[in-house]
Structures are given as structure tokens and as C-alpha cells.
Amino acid sequence: MVFGFISAFFRRLYLTIIDLYTLPELRPMLFGFMKQRLLGGGANIEKVHDGHGGIVSTLFVDGVPLPPFPSLRSNLRQIDKFQVRSDDIWIVNWPKSGTHWMWEVVMMLSSGQAQLRDSVKVGAMFPEACTLQATEKMTSPRVLDTHVPFKLFPKAALKSKIIYTVRNPKDACVSAYHHQKGMAVHNKVSWEGTFELVTNGKAHYGDWFDHVEEWLKVLENNPNALIVTYEDMKMDLKKQVRRVAEFLGYKRSEKFYDDVAKLCSFGNMKKEKRDIKSAWSKESAGIYRKGTVGDWKNYFTVAQNEKFNEIYNRRMKNINLDLKFEL
């Protein structure tokens, strides 16, 4: 047991050094996490119990459960100081709903270069991962991303282009489970516990239905907003790439759309895209696991499915979305 702990420690240290060297934009965040671990967490970090023996480290801000990013609370205190630029692009969603995927698409469209970025989207994740000062140093057009509910979002940024991606909540729930389970530190979770946290609105970033409903109410009549579903991207990625390009005003050739769709296919992203190596346990598949539609059927019990369907049918009465749970 002691040998296993020592082995895991040195593996994590080695991978952190690699990340610090290859992903310089993440250095403040990585050093912040190292400081948290050395100090045994943080004064504002709580251990949330999932009712099934699992524990998730959580930072609460205005009642919203959030992941314990080192600069998150400080960024939210200064959120009104965020300086909006006219060409900013935001990708917003509840976690595990295609953020990395859409970020890569938008980066290719905005740059006019069909190639995967050496950087990772976490480096442009505000207010979670990068600092306010880091956003000011970014070159335009900035492609920013966040999972925060609307009440924590910088309101001045509503003048920017916003792409809100939505994934069916059953698959998002399963993906959230694997994300938490695969992290290298601080979370001990089970599928049953994750299901309870999600259905009770206690998972990171809060209730899925509240998140989607609040954002859609704000964005539905906003000409600067586009709603894209994860399932539509899975069915016809090129079509959605073209749709996003036209929305952003970055109209490109059909060949360019073909190239983007090929490079951003899940298989290619999983194979070629750089990930934060130190974030994951040895057994984890990392950020790119399956990327399928309908994987929830391998996890939901009959009782869980019935419970979730009852919640979904009741809560979706106020949400004008037709989501697909299988293809």
C-alpha cells in the first residue's frame, strides 16, 4: 500500500512537470492545485458526501457547487472587472456536453487553420481556470469557455457571441461520473453516488435543468447566441461546423468544413489531441473516453431510469428542447 502511494506520487509529480513545460498557459492553475494539496485543501473547500460512501471536493459560491479551481473564487469577486472585447466568443454549457469539441471547432474557424491546437481549452476557461489578468493578455479573437450558471457569468459578455451546447442529461451524467472517477486526486465516487448528486442538483455546477433553463431563457431571443446539441454534432458534424461558421461570420470553403469535421472527429481527437496528463489517474481514459450517444443504457438501472424520466418529463415542460437519448 505504501509502495503504491509512493509510486502514484512520483508518477503525478513527473506528469505535472511535463504539463508545466508543455502547457505554459496552465502554470498558474497547476501551481495553485499543488499549493492546495500541500496545504491539505483550502479553507473554502468542502467535502460533499454522495450518500453512497463517495466524497467530492467542492467549492460553494452563492450556493452553487463548483470544482475547487484555485483562482475561481477570486475571479468571481472581480467578475465585473472583466473587459469585454467586440470579437469575443464564448462556449457555455453544463459539464460534459462537448466543450472541448466545440472549442476546437471554433478555434479552427476563427484562425482559418484546420489543425488541432497545441493548447487546451482549460487555458481559456474563465472564470474557473485562468485568471482575470490572463484573459487580458489573450490575443483576439478570444475563444473563452465556461460551465458556470448564468448568475455567475459576466453580464457584460452577453454582447459577445455565445454558443451554448447541450447534451442529453443521461449521457452527461455518465460522463460526469467517469470524469470524477478518473481524476488523480480528491474524489472518491461511485456511479450510484454520482446519480444521486446529479438528480439532487448537488453535482459540480448545480442542477442540469436549472442550468439549461436559465441560460436558454437569456439566450433564446439573443441574436448573438447559438444553441447546438451534442447529438446533432454526432449525427452530422460538418453540418454543425458550417452552422457555427455562418453564425460567427467565419464562412469558409466546403473543403475547410470537411477538414475540420475530420480533425474534430472523436476518434482523431482522442488519438491526437493533447490532454492535461497530471489531471488523471493511471487507469483513466482522460478527457476523451467514448463520446457516444446512448452510453447511459450501460449504467442506468431500471429504477434509476424511471426516476430520471419522471424528473425529466416534469422539468422539461419549461424547456423548449428536443434532445436525443440514442441514435
Instruction: Specify if 172 maps to a domain.
Output: yes
Q: Is residue 64 part of a domain?
A: yes
Number of independent structural domains in the chain? 1
The answer to whether position 250 is within a domain reads: yes
Is 29 a residue whose pLDDT tops 90?
Answer: no
Q: Does some domain include residue 326?
A: no
Residue 256: count of CB within 10 angstroms of its CB: 19
For residues 324 and 294, what is the distance between their CA atoms, to the nearest angstrom? 9
User: Is 147 annotated in the active site?
Assistant: yes
| pTM of the shown model | 0.85
Which of 100, 147, 178, 211 is catalytic? The answer is: 147
Q: Does residue 232 form part of some domain? A: yes
What gap in Å lies between CA 94 and CA 92, rounded to an integer?
7
Query: Which residue range forms the structural domain that includes residue 47?
Result: 2-318
Residue with cell 461558421: 245
- Position 57 in a domain: yes
Q: How does pLDDT run across 177-211, given as a tens digit for each residue?
A: 988 876 646 557 899 999 999 999 999 999 999 99
| pLDDT tens digits for range 264-314 | 988 887 776 555 555 554 455 455 677 789 999 999 999 999 999 999 999
CATH code where residue 84 lies: 3.40.50.300
> Would residue 128 count as lying in a domain?
yes
Pairing state of beta strands 45-49 and 55-61?
Answer: antiparallel
Is residue 130 very low, low, confident or very high in pLDDT (cuts 50, 70, 90)? confident
What is the number of other CB atoms lying within 10 angstroms of the CB of residue 140? Answer: 11
- Answer whether residue 78 is part of any domain: yes
**HEC assignment per residue over the chain:** CHHHHHHHHHHHHHHHHHHHHHCHHHHHHHHHHHHHHHCCCCCCEEEEECCCCCEEEEEEECCEEECCCCCHHHHHHCHHHCCCCCCCEEEECCCCCCHHHHHHHHHHHHHCCCCCCCCCHHHHECCCCCCHHHHHHCCCCCEEEECCCHHHCCHHHHHCEEEEEECCHHHHHHHHHHHHHHECCCEECCHHHHHHHHHCCCCCCCCHHHHHHHHHHHHCCCCCEEEEEHHHHHHCHHHHHHHHHHHHCCCCCHHHHHHHHHHCCHHHHHHHCCCCHHHECCCCCCCCCCCCCCHHHHCCCHHHHHHHHHHHHHHHHHCCCCCCCCC
Residue 36 or 150, more confident: 150
